[in-house]
Chains A and B, each alone.
Chain A
Amino acid sequence: MINLETPKKFRMLVDQAHQVARQIFRPNSRRYDRAEHLYPRELDMLGALLDGMNAGGGGGEGAGAAGVRRSAARSDEGNRNSSNLSTVLGTMELCWGDVGFLLTMPRQGLGNSAIASVATDEQLERFKGKWAAMAITEPGCGSDSAAIRTTARLDGDHYVLNGEKIYVTAGDRADLVVVWATLDRNLGRAAIKSFVVEKGTPGFDLVRLEHKLGIRASDTAAFVLNDVRVPRENLLGDPEINVDKGFAGVMQTFDNTRPLVAAMAVGLARACLEETRKLLEQAGIELDDDAPAFAQHAAASECRRLESEYEAARLLTLQAAWMADNRKPNSLQASMAKAKAGRSCVEIALRCVELAGPLGYAEGEGGHGLLEKWARDAKILDIFEGTQQIQQLIVARRLLGKTSAELK
């Protein structure tokens, strides 16, 4: 039966996440936006709390990054609302609070999602309780991840990694970094594998932290890899180079993580809309559900338009996660959600600053004073985990039935 309301069984989880966002994230938002690179100590306890939420969900539901793992066995054929859905719902709430904090929640890195998505049970057990960052981008390649130059060479029981990685979210604070490297640059995408590198491994050096437009509470690191020796059992997924299967192994992560990033955008967009509506109401401008757009104040009408963009993004995100929960292939829907949520959150945040005027543009400690920060934070959500353009490319290829060689 078609129903698009938040599942009853996740209401408590959503409420808990909302309390965290409201009582811990929001009051600290401005402080760590100003003090870039200062570690938010307040978050230590939260990692544990999220671990608890993950463990306590009963049917494998959780709000953390590991919630994207797709269980191998399914006994029943009925409709399933499980960890993918609860994870995006939790992420939306937390990012209503602060996207930067979510990105630097202990043990909630995108690397954790990658491990959860493709690791064997043995690996999952071995990396349990660790905080994992994700390293894909290099100085010479971003969206074109097939062009990465970091190499991995098998030497006895170890892979030896060499190269350079940038834009590693939580790279400084994480315990592990999932590094993408190629086993053979002549074999293209199929040779690209992901390796779990423990911090402190000789030759794995952090060279700098970036200064950024937004999400300043989250550290963004650059690494060099100089003959870094990684145990061969740290390769995630299939070690064989299967040219037919191509990129499928490492790319599978994205089907799970793109709805998560979309959820971040949805949460941030809701924060902007709520604060803006409050301001409009204070100014005596109410949104009317039944009056036509042109019979309302222009600001009210614009606010409703933004809400419609938000709702489309939110529902597309829930759809992608729901499909993952029900083991339906969701690459198309994951990219649709990411594309729509990424661009909508930027548009909404920037428009809300405009609607709020000087109150929205000026820095403040909370409420509408965070609008300018959210507008800065928003932009990364249309870039990382696949830019707007990459998502459109994926959606277009899927709809048109084109290969990456035909539609470049």
Chain B
Amino acid sequence: MAFRSTAMGLGLRAVNRIGGSALVDRLGLRKPAEKALYHGSRLGFRGADTLARGLKATQKLLKPARLPHQAAQGLFDLTPTDEQQMLRDAAAAYAAEQLRPAAQAADATAAAPTEVLAGIDDLGIAAMSIPEALGGVGAERSAVTHALIAEALAHGDMGLAVAGLAPSAVSTALVLWGDEAQQSQYLPAFAAGQGPVAALAICEPQPLFDSLTLRTRVRRTADGFVLDGVKSLVPRADRAELLIVAAALEDAGPSLFLVEAAGADLRYAAEPAMGLRAASTMRVEFDGVKLPASALLGAGDPIVYRECIRLARLGWCALAVGTAQAALDYLIPYVNERQAFGEPISHRQSVAFAVANIGIETEGMRLATWRAASRAEQGLDFARATAIARRLCADKGMQIGSEAVQLLGGHGFVKEHPVERWYRDLRAAAVMEGVVLI
């Protein structure tokens, strides 16, 4: 529990750093960001028993609680709001102090330490996007904030960031598309902090996998649905209490379904991958799994499904940006210190230009991701902006990973340095669907 206190302290430190005033003054908690951080830290005192609580319908809503879109300010602006900066600083500090040091062991064992994940939860990411009516602290749709946090966490480690962010993808999906009953049933547990393990499962073990053409199928029955199929690369699936599963509904095309793990007879198999190993990726098999009629999310609306695909891709973009930035930040001191032919290798143009290009492309990836995210939160069409960000992050992210290993030479290839891990993780930005949502 000592570790949890540290994580809590980080949140409080961030509040102090920004506010600069006595903490008691800040507990008026006017702004959602402060609330989110306070929320996490307050729960830090509650102890481990909250982790074991079940999913119960604790509150009833008359209609779904949604967050309003951000009102456009009409000006071009690249400055995060004070709140966003506060959350980003807290995430960046946690990434540097906790994620990076834990990354290598988590990669080797293909498991994320529970206390590290609890620390990510303490940042209040889930609560931030859950409306107050459901126990959260969210006031507005905040895709950019999610992107900034994902970027900051991935700077520490992409695999741990994915493991830590995966449950909030499920809560965000419920906020965006859940009906009042679904929201009432599940969201208070997520909003309370140290929420249930959960995952958004879209990938399938297919070559040329296309998330719009699914092999996982759902058939209607008299009292609900029956789910059959296999999902791939689902983080910490065997521990998840709640899954959102993408499946082709017989008469409505690809749709999202809520699947409670308890009593569902799901079959899991470890599916360790090239990277993201800290996220304990798994394959999940659904063999005639019966679902109640209330399991369908977003009423099978095809727009909902496409939005989900896009927001997930933007999540992967943000993770790739953070990882690419980590590579750049690691390379700069390395090439400045590494000597060859009597001088630092950074004095050679072929090395220096490679670093310059990593800087240029990382910045381009970041701006394209921010643009798509800001369009999403303003309620503008973001299909094309997302397709562009995805393509850029898939192509350039991988180039950066490869170039980073190259610049370290043999050192890039061995596990003494984190660069080979970033190389493995960055390939995910082109492959993964689902899992994270911004």
Contact = CB atoms under 8 A, between A and B. Distances in A.
Interface of A: 1-9, 79, 81, 85, 287, 289-295, 304-305, 307-309, 311-313, 315-316, 318-319, 322, 333, 336, 339-340, 389, 392-393, 395-397, 399-402, 406-408
Contacts, number: 168
Contacts of B306: 290
Contacts of A81: 75-76
A67 to B, nearest CB: 15
Contacts of A290: 211-212, 306, 309-310, 383, 387
A6 B213 CA distance: 35
A7 B77 CA distance: 9
A79 B74 CA distance: 11
Contacts of B72: 3, 5
A308 B73 contact: no
A308 B392 contact: yes
Contacts of A397: 352
B76 A407 contact: no
B6 interface: no
A21 B116 CA distance: 56
B374 A2 contact: yes
Interface string B119-145: 000000000000000000000000010
22 contacts: A2-B370, A3-B374, A79-B73, A85-B76, A290-B383, A295-B210, A305-B391, A308-B388, A311-B364, A312-B367, A312-B368, A312-B392, A315-B364, A319-B363, A333-B363, A336-B363, A339-B360, A392-B357, A395-B356, A396-B353, A397-B352, A408-B349
B385 to A, nearest CB: 8
A122 B389 CA distance: 47
A230 B21 CA distance: 60
Nearest to A323: B78
Given A311-B368, A392-B357, A1 B70 contact: yes
A322 to B, nearest CB: 6
Contacts of B336: 400-401
Contact of B360 (A322, A340, A401): A340
Nearest to A391: B356
A58 to B, nearest CB: 15
A319 B77 CA distance: 9
| Interface size band for B | 35 or more
Given A308-B395, A312-B364, A340-B364, A3 B76 contact: yes
B332 interface: yes
B375 interface: yes
Given A311-B392, A336-B360, A399-B359, A2 B78 contact: yes
Given A5-B72, A400-B346, A289 B374 contact: no
A399 B346 CA distance: 11
B121 to A, nearest CB: 25
Nearest to B382: A289
A315 B355 contact: no
Contacts of B392: 308-309, 311-312
A7 B364 contact: no
Contacts of A399: 328, 332, 355-356, 359
Contacts of A79: 73, 75, 77, 79
B367 A402 contact: no
